[in-house]
Amino acid sequence: MNNSAHIGDSYYMTVTVEYRCVDIRRFYAPYDEPEYVVHATRNGLSLRLDEWAHLLELVPTIHEHHPEFAESCDKENSEKAIA
């Protein structure tokens, strides 16, 4: 079973249980298919679940050393809440 979520622009995040990974990938909609049909591109990354957990632990440190990332995330979240 896979769980997928749209995370902005043309990017989706998928948790793949059978491979035990988190996949963040850009998708595109072909011109000759309905707009709800999307295909994955090669642009993206996959992290094993332990790598994902480690990245989440590092987020506060990343925000501390690079506050511009935290500010852009806060701005995007507040804009989504208004819409």
Could you report the per-residue pLDDT of 57-71, keeping only the tens digit for each?
998 998 889 888 777
Predicted pLDDT of residue 39: 85
C-alpha to C-alpha distance for 5 and 15, rounded to whole angstroms: 9
Q: Which domain holds residue 31?
A: 2-82
**What one-letter code names the amino acid at 18?**
E
Residue 22 burial (CB < 10 Å; 0-12/13-18/19+)? Answer: buried
- With CA atoms as reference, report the closest residue to 75 among 8, 14, 24: 8
| Structural domains of the chain, count | 1
Predicted pLDDT of residue 72: 63
CB 25 within 8 A of CB 16: no
CATH of the domain at 26: 2.30.31.10
